[in-house]
Each structure stands twice: as C-alpha cells, then as structure tokens.
Amino acid sequence: MATRIYLKSVLFLLLITAFGKIAMTLGTAPVLHKPSFLIDSIENRHLLSFAAGLELAAVALILSGWGGSRLSLAVVAWLASLFAVYRLLLWMNGFHGYCDCLGNISEILGLNPTEAVWISRSILIYLLVGSYALLLREWMSQPSIKKMPQEIVRPSL
C-alpha cells in the first residue's frame, strides 16, 4: 500500500518537473545556449532535455507496471541518485548559482530562486529517501532474508 501511494506521488512529481523542463527548453532564455557548468560540450538546453527524457522514461516504466514495484523503485532510486551526484558535482566544482531543476514551474508559481532551490532539494530528498527506504523494506521482507539456513548462520566444524 505504501509503495503504491509513493509511486503515484513520484509519477506526479516527475511529470511536473519533466514538463517544466520541456517548457523551459522551448523558451529563448540566454542561459539555454550556454554550456553546462560541468560538461562544456553540452548546452543547458540539451542537458535539460536529457533530464526530462529520463524523468519521462521513468514515468513510462512505472505506469506500464513492467517489472513490478521493485523495478519501479529501483529506477526512481537510480534517477534520484543520478540527480544527487550531478548536484554534488556542481557544488564540489564551485557552482553556487541557481539550478533550473524545476524548469519553468518556479516561474509559473512565482517562486524566487531560494524557494525554487528549497523545493527542488526537497523533491530530490523525497525521491532518494523514499525509494531506498521502500526498496530496503521489500528486501528485508523477502523470505530468504528472514529464514536463513542454519549452516549460514552457524557453520558446522
């Protein structure tokens, strides 16, 4: 039940952030034509498009039900980890500017950069903690984990 509710909330969040990124890439903001802070050979427009594509691919997989909830959670954990590593690398390389992780959503909602950063970090934490916690819960509930053979627990001499 908790996993199903969590995945529905993830669908909502990923759809909003993906469409915000797509809307932003269709705009004419000068920052879109600048190279990415981490990858000089990629413009910000292309990086945002790629991130939106990953989010939409995760949405498609979750909606399809293919692989079950465990695969859906693993994909969310992978995607959130990827975004977290990217943010960490930005920070480690001295980037302290505004991240357009929400795309045009922050502009539509009238958020200032501080609020948008706070919301995007909160979403990232929600995706990371939620997916890993539910994966751990599913892993711990496996019968093979609960009922280990006696010889593994206490080897015979």
For the chain, the structural domain boundaries read 2-153
At 90, which amino acid appears? Answer: L
Q: In order along the chain (157 residues), what is the average pLDDT of each group of 10 residues?
A: 94 94 87 87 93 97 92 97 93 80 75 86 96 93 63 56
Distance from C-alpha of 142 to C-alpha of 156, rounded to nearest angstrom: 25
**Which residues, 6 or more positions from 60, have their beta carbon under 8 angstroms from its beta carbon?**
none
Q: What is residue 100's DSSP assignment? A: -
Q: Is the dihedral of CA 74, 120, 82, 44 positive or negative?
A: positive
- What is the pLDDT at residue 50? 95
Instruction: Work out the angle at residue 73's Cα, subtended by the Cα atoms of residues 55 and 127, and round it to the nearest 5 degrees.
Output: 60
